[in-house]
């Protein structure tokens, strides 16, 4: 080195420097195969390369091309690829090596633009002259300088290609824990305001992923600003994290992967590499913005305990050690969970559903996690739906589900929350509901105030009430308004309605297997279970489950084991269900109102088991009530008055008939649409509602039926067009 007068320090690493095979290292043949001028031609090429690197003069360029072509033509040992490698050694900033790693990176991985790729392919395929090689170098250098690459010189590109041959940048991981990222972000000497601003710029893109070209264009900065600031940030991180593993290399190729993962941009994306913030860094930035809030996935084993059976707002805790004294899996998660963090409550096999949302609270003692359920889900989220979501593929829980407490990123938490809200909309709770009072009920439903008060007290005491009566007495109409009056608002989100029929079953009402589109079967909860979940998740509010035609179903078959659970004394206690090893709590704030038509001849006497668990309230025709009298007075319709007078007499006859009785009387609701009715409405009520009913009642006594039908026709005959 002294004899050559080289004063540069001896290199300590050769990463990215292309090497030739040691058996074919010579650029010339050995004697006696050597021919005149072969050595001189190589020296001539060497000297012209030095000149060209320093001066782009046309004459110098022509000298280089001639020297290059002479070596190629007269020296078979100096192959094209080997020549490019040697020229890179001579002046690496000017000449591109076309060694195997660079070729693969340019041609196969398309690391530079398409024009460079095609030029290189053509050069290697046709083995053309030095002028073509200079074109390759010029186009490649231009691509490096004009694109937002993590390498802007041939040495950096060569090093990057060498590194890719060993391992992909996308696979590189600096191995920082979430806690380490949190600590780094909290240090203003590392994450300076400029660094945080750059991170924020990247977060404005979907998934915090973009090319440097895209970011610079959106925020009006030069690409070099992002390049230099990111390298400086990565270097500060590396200075603090002594001993961390780095990608072998220089400058950008070495530093960017600390902060980002990289992947080749597609043809439609401006720029060459899509840089995405590392998930750990992205999560730490979000936590810093949220005041340090974290997100968790909390498992409950239904064989031991469940969220479903706990009262909303009750504080529970998990110890860091199991009952056997062993540390639970990922004990650090128990130490990291802080009051105010949010969690997703999941019940493991056999339930395998998200069932609750909650908040981490202050632990009752050291080495425990305190938590509170804030909401029990009416419509739970199945494991299969969570597993199928690509945005949740990297959840810590999926890597090894055996454990109790798992971390969630903010994105994962919000993705799950979207699934929850799609299935459990919370919009109605935010709406301003129309008020509904006792006075309004008495105005709408024609019963005496004392009976209303008695009905409310009975429902509050028994929790289960059946309204029974003849057709037209307004049972269904009254049931919904009774619920509204107790709620003091017209809030249908607190009311669930079903209608029983002869084919209605336990699987419809409670739980059962339902066929799926894929040909399989899925265990599906019925409306009653969902109503129980809804009421249980909101214990300070009242909820109502209204069953129309309750006596038309097989009650023992439909309710099953829940006949006991609906009793007042058993409310709030878990009852095992027939399917899926599940239990259900029927909460005390769920009121059941049934309706029963006493005129239905097809039904036998109601099941005694049901009768014992319900109180029965007779709903009678309201023709004699003060409120109905007020209604007639407002209507001021003589035809209506005459028809009502006839119906009152008719009801007396029906109640005295041994084959019928009071349960078959004609109800008042047939005549309650007068204020909104079209002309001729009373005649239509008589002809198409009342007369067919009388034919059915006295099917074996047509003379009686005809007698009353005539009386009704006579009552509506006068001024029928105005009736």
Q: How does pLDDT run across 457-507, given as a tens digit for each residue? A: 999 999 999 999 888 888 999 999 999 999 999 999 899 999 998 899 999
Phi, psi dihedrals of residue 27, rounded to the nearest 5°: -95, 10
Phi, psi dihedrals of residue 326, rounded to the nearest 5°: -85, 145
User: What are the start-end ranges of the H helices in 537-686?
Assistant: 555-559, 562-565, 608-613, 626-635, 638-656, 681-685
Higher pLDDT, 49 or 610: 49
pLDDT at 367 over 80: no
Give the pLDDT band of residue 354 (cuts 50, 70, 90): very high
Residue with tokens 């080289």: 6
pLDDT digits (tens, 9 = 90+) for 288-332: 877 777 899 999 988 888 887 777 778 888 888 877 777 787 887
Copy the structure tokens of residue 88. 């890179």
Higher pLDDT, 475 or 363: 475
- Residue 257 CB contacts under 8 Å (≥ 6 apart), including other chains: 150, 169, 172, 174, 247
pLDDT at 365 over 60: yes
Alpha-carbon span 182 to 176, nearest angstrom: 10
pLDDT at 429 over 60: no
Higher pLDDT, 681 or 721: 681
pLDDT at 166 over 60: no
Query: Of the candidates 248, 283, 336, 343, which has an alpha carbon nearest to the alpha carbon of residue 12?
Result: 248
The full set of domains in the chain, from first to last, is: 22-166 (no CATH), 169-286 (1.10.10), 293-426 (3.10.590.10), 438-619 (3.40.50.300), 626-722 (no CATH)
In 10 A of CB 531, how many CB atoms? 24
At 490 the pLDDT is 92
pLDDT at 403 over 90: no
pLDDT digits (tens, 9 = 90+) for 104-141: 778 866 778 888 888 888 888 876 789 999 999 999 99
Alpha-carbon span 140 to 157, nearest angstrom: 10
Q: Which of 13-17, 44-48, 255-259 has the lowest mean pLDDT?
A: 13-17
- Residue 717 CB contacts under 8 Å (≥ 6 apart), including other chains: none
Q: Which of 73-77, 118-122, 402-406, 710-714 has the lowest mean pLDDT?
A: 73-77
The reported pTM is: 0.56
Give the pLDDT band of residue 427 (cuts 50, 70, 90): very low
At 317 the pLDDT is 87
At 428 the pLDDT is 40
Phi, psi dihedrals of residue 616, rounded to the nearest 5°: -110, 130
Mean pLDDT of the chain: 84
Give the pLDDT band of residue 21 (cuts 50, 70, 90): low
Residue with tokens 């990608």: 247
User: What are the start-end ranges of the H helices in 445-595?
Assistant: 449-462, 475-487, 506-509, 527-536, 555-559, 562-565
Q: What is the mean pLDDT of residues 439-461?
A: 93
User: What are the start-end ranges of the H helices in 470-595?
Assistant: 475-487, 506-509, 527-536, 555-559, 562-565
- Angle made by CA atoms 29, 30, 34, in degrees to the nearest 5: 65
Give the pLDDT band of residue 15 (cuts 50, 70, 90): low
In 10 A of CB 498, how many CB atoms? 20
At 251 the pLDDT is 46
524 backbone φψ class: left, alpha, beta (φ>0; ψ -120 to 50): beta
At 25 the pLDDT is 72
Q: What is the mean pLDDT of residues 348-366?
A: 86
Higher pLDDT, 68 or 251: 68
Query: Can you give the C-alpha Rg of the chain in angstroms?
Result: 42
Alpha-carbon span 609 to 464, nearest angstrom: 13
Half-sphere exposure of 465 (CA within 13 A, CB side): 25
Give the pLDDT band of residue 649 (cuts 50, 70, 90): very high
Q: Which of 28-32, 196-200, 531-535 has the lowest mean pLDDT?
A: 28-32
At 246 the pLDDT is 63
DSSP output for 155-219:
HHHHHHHHHHHHS-GGG------HHHHHHHHH-TTTS-HHHHHHHHHHHTSGGGEE-HHHHHHHH
Q: Which of 57-61, 429-433, 464-468, 678-682 has the lowest mean pLDDT?
A: 429-433
At 722 the pLDDT is 47
Give the pLDDT band of residue 74 (cuts 50, 70, 90): confident
Alpha-carbon span 475 to 344, nearest angstrom: 42
pLDDT > 70: percent of the chain: 89
Alpha-carbon span 420 to 21, nearest angstrom: 61
pLDDT > 90: percent of the chain: 27
pLDDT at 195 over 60: yes
Q: What is the mean pLDDT of residues 376-400?
A: 89
């Amino acid at each position: 080195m002294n004899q050559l007068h080289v004063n540069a320090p001896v290199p300590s690493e050769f990463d990215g420097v292309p090497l030739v095979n040691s058996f074919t290292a010579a650029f010339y043949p050995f004697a006696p195969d050597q021919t005149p001028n072969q050595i001189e031609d190589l020296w001539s090429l060497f000297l012209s390369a030095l000149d060209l690197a320093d001066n782009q003069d046309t004459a110098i360029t022509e000298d280089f091309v001639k020297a290059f072509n002479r070596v190629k033509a007269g020296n078979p040992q100096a192959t094209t690829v080997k020549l490019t490698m040697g020229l890179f050694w001579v002046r690496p900033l000017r000449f591109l090596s076309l060694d195997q790693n660079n070729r693969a990176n340019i041609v196969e991985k398309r690391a530079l633009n398409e024009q460079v790729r095609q030029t290189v392919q053509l050069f290697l395929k046709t083995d053309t002259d030095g002028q073509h090689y200079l074109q390759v170098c010029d186009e490649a250098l231009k691509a490096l300088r004009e694109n937002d690459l993590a390498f802007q010189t041939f040495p950096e590109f060569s090093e990057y290609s060498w590194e890719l041959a060993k391992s992909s940048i996308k696979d590189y991981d600096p191995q920082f824990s979430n806690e380490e990222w949190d600590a780094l972000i909290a240090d203003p000497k590392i994450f300076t305001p400029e660094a945080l601003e750059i991170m924020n710029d990247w977060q404005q893109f979907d998934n915090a992923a973009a090319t440097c070209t895209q970011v610079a264009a959106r925020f009006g900065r030069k690409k070099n600003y992002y390049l230099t600031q990111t390298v400086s940030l990565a270097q500060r991180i590396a200075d603090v994290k002594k001993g961390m593993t780095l990608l072998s290399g220089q400058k950008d190729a070495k530093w960017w992967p600390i902060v980002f993962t990289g992947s080749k941009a597609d043809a439609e994306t401006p720029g060459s590499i899509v840089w995405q913030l590392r998930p750990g860094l992205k999560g730490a930035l979000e936590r810093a913005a949220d005041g340090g809030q974290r997100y968790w996935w909390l498992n409950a084993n239904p064989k031991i305990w469940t969220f479903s059976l706990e009262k909303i707002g009750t504080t529970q805790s998990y110890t860091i050690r199991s009952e056997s004294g062993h540390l639970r899996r990922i004990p650090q998660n128990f130490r990291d969970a802080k009051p105010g963090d949010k969690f997703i409550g999941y019940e493991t096999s056999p339930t395998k559903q998200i069932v609750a949302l909650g908040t981490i609270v202050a632990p009752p003692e050291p080495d425990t996690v305190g938590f509170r359920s804030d909401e029990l889900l009416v419509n739970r989220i199945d494991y299969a739906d969570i597993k199928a979501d690509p945005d949740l593929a990297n959840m810590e829980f999926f890597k090894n589900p055996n454990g109790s407490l798992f971390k969630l990123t903010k994105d994962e938490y919000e993705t799950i929350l979207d699934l929850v809200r799609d299935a459990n909309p919370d919009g109605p709770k935010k709406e301003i509901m129309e008020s509904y009072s006792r006075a309004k009920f008495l105005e709408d439903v024609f019963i005496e105030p004392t009976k209303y008060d008695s009905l409310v007290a009975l429902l509050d005491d028994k929790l289960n009430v059946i309204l029974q009566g003849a057709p037209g007495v307004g049972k269904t109409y009254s049931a919904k308004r009774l619920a509204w009056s107790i709620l003091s608002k017209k809030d249908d989100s607190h009311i669930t309605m079903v209608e029983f029929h002869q084919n209605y079953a336990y699987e419809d009402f409670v739980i059962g297997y339902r066929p799926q589109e894929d040909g399989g079967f899925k265990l599906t909860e019925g409306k009653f279970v969902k109503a129980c979940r809804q009421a249980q998740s909101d214990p300070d509010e009242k909820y109502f489950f209204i069953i129309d035609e309750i006596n038309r179903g097989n009650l023992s078959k439909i309710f099953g084991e829940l006949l006991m659970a609906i009793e007042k004394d058993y409310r709030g206690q878990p009852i095992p269900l027939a399917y899926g090893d599940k239990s259900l709590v029927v909460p005390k704030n769920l009121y059941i109102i049934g309706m029963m038509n006493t005129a239905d001849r097809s039904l036998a006497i109601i099941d005694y088991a049901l009768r014992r668990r319900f109180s029965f309230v007779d709903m009678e025709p309201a023709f004699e009530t003060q409120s109905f009298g007020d209604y007639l007075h407002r209507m001021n319709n003589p035809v209506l008055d005459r028809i009502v007078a006839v119906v009152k007499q008719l009801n007396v006859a029906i109640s005295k008939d041994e084959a019928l009785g009071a349960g078959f009387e004609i109800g008042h609701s047939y005549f309650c649409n007068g204020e909104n009715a079209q002309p001729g409405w009373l005649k239509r009520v008589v002809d198409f509602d009342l007369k067919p009913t009388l034919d059915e009642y006295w099917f074996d006594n047509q003379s009686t039926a005809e007698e009353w039908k005539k009386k009704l026709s006579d009552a509506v005959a006068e001024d029928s067009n105005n009736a």
